[in-house]
């Protein structure tokens, strides 16, 4: 798994390529925590490169959303989901917890 993070004008963009599983989820959690520790809570998570996400990865995304929404500071929005990833979020019951966008540009523009 490869993670890149960019600070933009109104939000942060986190992009992941590969599998998010039990072994790689802690790296994703660290990326989100670094953004939170810097005092930023508006995050676009580009999942267009995610081939697979496990329950550990879903838990990381949920925890990041909780941290962002605490005291109405921001949120995590998801962009570029594959049908398999969308299905995993749906089965886990996470669909109502996130906003979804087809393209990163649309997600960034939502802030």
Nearest to 84 by CA among 31, 41, 47: 47
pTM of the entire predicted model? 0.94
Going 1 to 94 to 26 to 6, the CA torsion angle's sign is: positive
pLDDT in tens, 14-70: 999 999 999 999 999 999 999 999 999 999 999 999 999 999 999 999 999 999 999
DSSP for 17-69, written as a single string: EEEESTTTHHHHHHHHHHHHHTT--EEEEEEEEEEEE-HHHHHHHHHHHHHHH
d(CA 43, CA 33): 11
Domains and CATH numbers, the chain: 2-109 (3.30.750.24)
Calculate mean pLDDT across residues 99-108: 96
pLDDT of residue 71: 86
d(CA 90, CA 84): 10
Calculate mean pLDDT across residues 104-108: 97
Nearest to 16 by CA among 53, 66, 62: 53
With beta carbons less than 8 A apart as the criterion, state whether 52 and 20 touch: yes
pLDDT of residue 38: 96
């Amino acid at each position: 798994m490869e993670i890149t993070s960019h600070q933009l004008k109104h939000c942060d963009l986190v992009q992941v390529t590969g599998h998010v599983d039990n072994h790689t989820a802690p790296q994703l959690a660290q990326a989100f925590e670094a953004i939170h520790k810097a005092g930023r809570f508006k995050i676009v998570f580009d999942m267009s490169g995610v081939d697979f996400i496990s329950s550990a990865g879903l838990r990381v995304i949920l925890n990041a959303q909780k941290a962002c929404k605490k005291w109405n500071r921001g949120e995590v929005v998801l962009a570029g989901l594959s049908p398999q990833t969308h299905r995993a979020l749906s089965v886990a019951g996470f669909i109502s917890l996130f906003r979804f966008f087809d393209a990163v540009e649309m997600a960034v523009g939502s802030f």
